[in-house]
Amino acid sequence: MKSTVEQIRARFDNDVERFSNLETGQSATIDAPLVLELISQAAIATNPGASDLLDVGCGAGNYSLKLLQTLPDLNITLIDLSRPMLARAEQRLRPATKGRIEVLQGDVRDLDLGDARFDVIVAAAVLHHLRTDAEWEAVFAKFFQALRPSGSIWIADLVEHSSAAIQDLMWRRYGEYLVELKDEAYRDTVFAYVAQEDTPRPLLYQIDLLRNVGFRQVELLHKTSVFAAFGAWK
């Protein structure tokens, strides 16, 4: 059995500091600083006049902070399961924007995001917690509905591969990265919580789903091992 929402929330409640470094990002994610830069630049390139940002699974606010470096005074809506994460994100963002900050604690599957409220949506290291195909489709459709015309969504996440042989290859490479980063015990810890908590989908599955719910254009920004960064716009 996979972890419940409450179990996932409890783990992140106790892991705030790991998500609070704008320079390194989440170190267990390969190329985290590069992906942070690519997604922020892509969002700005496609929506240079953006005024409203939705940060889903915001953690400690790294993606919002990065966007504020070029788009100051964004209005930002933060969503996360973890109240300590939200508190830390709000603390870091308040000095960086004169815009409004709305904080929503909860599961994106359950929240009403409204219609045409946002210019940009960012979802980093969060969608792999979705379970069924129906959940994936409902959440992607919700994102589409919440964006204004020409609005964009940018996703950075763990992905799996449809081929078992390729999945084994990429998972082995990820394990080597974790060992080099710290040690074998750290690799085993990361692998254990991924197995317990996560249900990622293939990159191509998600790209097809973005198109199926209505997005007119999809772009791949970066792919390495079992991580990908990609986006779409209305």
| Domain positions in the chain | 5-161+199-233
What does CATH list as the number for 5-161+199-233? 3.40.50.150
Instruction: Give the span between the Cα atoms of 39 and 153, in whole angstroms.
Output: 10
pLDDT, position 13 = 75
pLDDT, position 15 = 75
Instruction: Give the CA distances from residue 187 to residues 2, 28, 102, 173, 192, in Å, rounded to whole numbers and listed in that order.
Output: 19, 9, 36, 11, 9
Report the predicted TM-score, pTM, of the whole model to 2 decimal places. 0.94
pLDDT, position 203 = 98
pLDDT, position 23 = 66
3-state secondary structure labels for all residues of 24-66: CCCCCCCCHHHHHHHHHHHHHHHCCCCCEEEEECCCCCHHHHH
For each of the chain's 234 residues, which pLDDT tens digit applies? 888 888 888 888 777 777 666 666 678 899 999 999 999 999 999 999 999 999 999 999 999 999 999 999 899 999 999 999 999 999 999 999 989 999 999 999 999 999 999 999 999 999 999 999 999 999 999 999 999 999 999 999 999 999 999 999 999 999 999 999 999 999 999 999 999 999 999 999 999 999 999 999 999 999 999 999 999 999
pLDDT, position 22 = 62
